[in-house]
Amino acid sequence: MAENEVTIVGAGLAGCEAAYYLASRGIRVRLTDIKPKKFTPAHSSEKLAELVCSNSLKSDDVYGNACGLLKEEMRRLGSLIIAAADATRVPAGGALAVDREAFSDYVTRAIAQSDLIEYVCEEAESIPAGYAIVATGPLTQGALAEDIQKRLGGNLAFYDAAAPIVSAQSIDFSRTFIADRYGKGCGDYVNCPLTREEYEAFVEALLGAERAQQHEFDKRDVFEGCMPVEIMAERGKDTLRFGMLKPVGLYDENGKRPYAVLQLRKENLAGTAYNLVGFQTNLKFSEQKRVFSMIPALKNAEFLRYGVMHRNTFLNGPQVLSPDSSLKEDGKVFFAGQITGVEGYVESAASGLLCGIACALKLRGKAPVSWDARTVCGALLRHISTPNADFQPMNANYGVLEPLPSPVRDKALKKRMFAERSLARIGEIAAELGRELTI
């Protein structure tokens, strides 16, 4: 392989993000993936950057949410994934949710139209030599997984879950009301209220329902951010009312707040399918139909996709990765995406973008970006490369950011100050990259 070419293994969010960034800087890329000849247990589409769990990229509030801030950092750094999400968004209140098919189409076209990206359908059996980015995701398997394990060791694992999707035509809209929490949005959520009696019966049925893979994991193996609803319910009868079924900030047409409420969000622009928000599950398919149909609005629900759970694997990044996500033992090989220990669509894409930047700079003989925890990007990089005896996957959150110079008691003001500081630093980095990585 040519010295000025980068091999990227994996054409998911992180791999496509890295490939597009490198190509936009005049660097030739060989992007490989097992699709369409083979699929992992969680994938089914032949298109690139397939979203397998939710269609939401979480909050788009730049000044009030850490993930919203991360997306804005990525926009200013030239992110393909965020551009695709912005172009294919569906109504979701303050969240950035997308039409899955249109989103994948956008990314697939962008990769195909680049003269500097060669897409090859093949299954990698080992970590590539030379400049390379491994972005095979948390379902990395086969010979490549064995090679990674042999060379790096320290692999950990947890279980991730996806929520069901139901047909819009099968929802009883007479048992719902349209509203966004705290009025943030344009009526983007369909709310399915439950009375106290209905809620308690639902929880009882949920706790008694039969699960798939019952003996393959326990609560310690499940990532908190994707906790199955049935496991969450075990924490107490009111736990769901403070979680995915919380009624806070939601009022029906009579101004009444329900005892509990399930929210449904559009899965596509046409509005023909809806996602059960926060209802990740590991129940058997027949049990999902039985139990979730106890929610009045879903009594006759047609399930277009049942919830599933799959095993995710990630590296012990602090042991094997340098601050720029390259291997300590081989500075030309980078790891990107969820396999590094970042958790979430946006975080995974951000990891790919940062790997693309780091790889481009190293290949061109330039100094690396001086990332720090003033930005969410830098804080996530620090998380996956800083020694930690109890290393676990991490979402974007304010807790990973460097504290402000002096304490701020007002939460809204504090978040705004975090954002202003972050975006000022991102502006400096973007300008620096513009000078260093000109074509």
Q: Which amino acid is at 413?
A: L
**pTM, entire model:** 0.77
The per-residue pLDDT of the chain, averaged, comes to 90
> Is pLDDT above 80 for 126?
yes
* C-alpha–C-alpha distance, residues 402 and 398, integer Å: 9
* C-alpha–C-alpha distance, residues 314 and 293, integer Å: 35
pLDDT of residue 313: 77
pLDDT of residue 38: 75
Q: What percent of the chain has pLDDT over 70?
A: 92
265: CB partners within 8 A, 6+ apart: 55, 56, 92, 95, 97, 188, 189, 190, 274, 275, 277
Task: Render pLDDT for 9-67 as a digit per residue (tens, 0 to 9).
Answer: 999 999 999 999 999 999 999 999 988 887 666 666 789 999 987 899 999 999 999 99
At residue 218 the predicted structure's pLDDT band, cuts being 50, 70 and 90, is very low
At residue 222 the predicted structure's pLDDT band, cuts being 50, 70 and 90, is low
Across the range 428-438, mean pLDDT stands at 93
Plot region of 313 (φ>0 → left; ψ -120 to 50 → alpha; else → beta): beta
| Structural domains of the chain ordered from first start | 5-158+313-436 (3.50.50.60), 165-307 (2.40.30.260)
Task: Render pLDDT for 321-338 as a digit per residue (tens, 0 to 9).
Answer: 999 999 999 999 999 999
Question: Measuring CA to CA, which residue among 177, 211, 215 is closest to residue 193?
Answer: 177
Q: Which amino acid is at 171?
A: I
Looking at the chain, how many residues does it have?
Answer: 439
pLDDT of residue 225: 62
Query: How crowded is residue 237: how many other Cβ atoms within 10 Å of its Cβ?
Result: 13
The three-state secondary structure class of 152 is helix
> Is pLDDT above 70 for 213?
no
The three-state secondary structure class of 133 is strand
> Residue 358 half-sphere exposure, CB side, CA atoms within 13 Å?
27
Task: Render pLDDT for 86-105 as a digit per residue (tens, 0 to 9).
Answer: 999 999 988 999 999 999 99
At residue 220 the predicted structure's pLDDT band, cuts being 50, 70 and 90, is very low
At residue 139 the predicted structure's pLDDT band, cuts being 50, 70 and 90, is confident
Q: Which amino acid is at 219?
A: K
**Cα dist from 424 to 324, 352, 383, 404, whole Å:** 21, 22, 21, 14
Q: Name, of 3-7, 350-354, 434-438, the range with top average pLDDT.
A: 350-354
Plot region of 129 (φ>0 → left; ψ -120 to 50 → alpha; else → beta): beta
Least confident of 126-130, 239-243, 405-409, 425-429: 405-409
